[in-house]
Amino acid sequence: MTSQQQSSFIESAKRVVAIEQAAIAALGERFDERFVKACELLKNCEGKVVVSGMGKSGHVGNKIAATLASTGTPAFFMHPGEANHGDLGMLGSNDVLLAISNSGETGELLNLLPVVKRLNVPVIAMTNRADSTLGKHADVVLDIGVEQEACTLGLAPTTSTTVTLVMGDALAVALLDANGFTSDDFALSHPGGSLGRKLLLTVADIMLTGDEIPLVPEQATVSEALLEISRKGLGLTGITDTKRNLLGVFTDGDLRRLLDARVDIHSTRVEEVMTRGCKTSNGEDLAVEALNLMEQYKISALLVVDENNQPVGAFNMHMLLKAGVL
């Protein structure tokens, strides 16, 4: 491949980006009372938002429906071709139809309008022609028109699909904000992915319990504490009083500092050299919150205590990694 060919590829790519950036910037000037009305229709919808479109508009519509559904607005995609052969039964009287057609003259969509109107279902049209058939029969029209496609032939939907996608994202996020949708709500609709694990997993879900918790009594020697650290493999041990209240921790780092100071680990009691006022976690804390705490204080492991400051668990960074929180 010649350098001229390589340069041609890069110039084509830059041209596409420039055209689409300009189209998105122009879209930003169109958020007016029509956009507000569309948001109100979607927010007040008692059923579901049914998104429909043919061809590339359909592909983008699928994504818009998925984004709406995952951000708190119940939605699904209905293929207009299939809708003309029975799938229109998906549409209920409490729903809102979000119809996408660049030209506003897509036959498969227009064929749905008589039934949609008979059901008294509001129609939001995303089109570049408000005076099109679809636009004239819609309750509100969102302008997705562009000056030019990024395709040099001016034929393949490129800029227009990008603008449509951005308009869909704008609707979804505006509704998310209006509905007070939270990260916890988001996690409930994404339980199988890494986002769900980060947002739903609690410390209690991953921590070690019972005899697996590294603990020694306050009268134990440093060498005994070191043996407990080695047995449990978390890089630390908790130190407790006679009532099993947590007094502090002793870590690998504490041991290195003692060895540098030439302290006799066989005669020194661990309570004399432990770290008091140590950071701990609660079993109900989100695992991601515990991770933030560990990163903030450069801690590789944490003990988990109950409301009485008694150890009930322990975990380290490796366990967070294994659980998919990192």
- Report pLDDT digits (tens) over 97-142: 999 999 999 999 999 999 999 999 999 999 999 999 999 999 999 9
Q: 86 or 218: whose pLDDT is higher?
A: 218
What is the token pair recorded at 231? 């047995």
pLDDT higher than threshold 90 for residue 219 = yes
What is d(CA 74, CA 52) in angstroms, rounded to the nearest whole number?
14
Q: How confident is the model at residue 191, as a pLDDT?
A: 52
What is d(CA 46, CA 74) in angstroms, rounded to the nearest whole number?
10
Q: How confident is the model at residue 323, as a pLDDT?
A: 82
Cβ atoms within 10 A of the Cβ of 77, count? Answer: 21
**Same domain as 130, residue 25:** yes
Residue 263 maps to a domain = yes
**Same domain as 176, residue 212:** no
Residue 191 maps to a domain = no
**Same domain as 253, residue 162:** no
CATH code where residue 240 lies? 3.10.580.10
Angle at CA of residue 307, ends 299 and 241, nearest 5°: 75
**Same domain as 106, residue 26:** yes
Q: How confident is the model at residue 198, as a pLDDT?
A: 61
Q: How confident is the model at residue 171, as a pLDDT?
A: 97
Q: How confident is the model at residue 258, as a pLDDT?
A: 86
Q: How confident is the model at residue 139, as a pLDDT?
A: 96
* pLDDT band for position 179 (cuts 50, 70, 90): confident
**Same domain as 252, residue 134:** no
β-sheet with 96-100: strand ranges across? 75-77, 49-53, 96-100, 123-127, 140-143
Q: Percent of the chain, pLDDT > 70?
A: 93
Q: Mean pLDDT score of the chain, rounded to an integer?
A: 90
Residue 167 maps to a domain = yes
Residue 193 maps to a domain = no
**Same domain as 157, residue 23:** yes
Boundary-marking domain end, from 116, 151, 181: 181
What is the token pair recorded at 286? 């989100």
Answer left, alpha or beta for residue 307, where phi above 0 means left and psi between -120 and 50 means alpha: alpha
Q: Give residue for tokens 């903030």.
A: 296
CATH code where residue 138 lies? 3.40.50.10490
- Of 56-65, 149-158, 182-191, which range is least confident? 182-191
pLDDT higher than threshold 80 for residue 183 = no
Q: Which amino acid is at 268?
A: T
SS3 246: strand
pLDDT higher than threshold 60 for residue 21 = yes
Q: How confident is the model at residue 277, as a pLDDT?
A: 87
* pLDDT band for position 154 (cuts 50, 70, 90): confident
pLDDT higher than threshold 60 for residue 93 = yes
* pLDDT band for position 186 (cuts 50, 70, 90): low
Q: How confident is the model at residue 195, as a pLDDT?
A: 57
Give the domain extent around 263: 203-322
Q: How confident is the model at residue 72, as a pLDDT?
A: 85
**Same domain as 281, residue 156:** no
Tell me how many domains the chain contains: 2
**Same domain as 174, residue 207:** no
Q: How confident is the model at residue 47, as a pLDDT?
A: 94
What is d(CA 86, CA 314) in angstroms, rounded to the nearest whole number?
57
* pLDDT band for position 182 (cuts 50, 70, 90): low
Boundary-marking domain end, from 181, 215, 243: 181
**pLDDT tens track for 38-59:** 999 999 999 999 999 999 999 9
* pLDDT band for position 288 (cuts 50, 70, 90): confident
Q: How confident is the model at residue 82, as a pLDDT?
A: 92
What is d(CA 198, CA 182) in angstroms, rounded to the nearest whole number?
14
Q: Percent of the chain, pLDDT > 90?
A: 70
**Same domain as 150, residue 120:** yes
**Same domain as 71, residue 29:** yes
Q: What is the pTM of this model?
A: 0.64
**Same domain as 215, residue 138:** no
pLDDT higher than threshold 80 for residue 20 = yes
pLDDT higher than threshold 90 for residue 264 = no
SS3 307: coil
**Same domain as 211, residue 159:** no
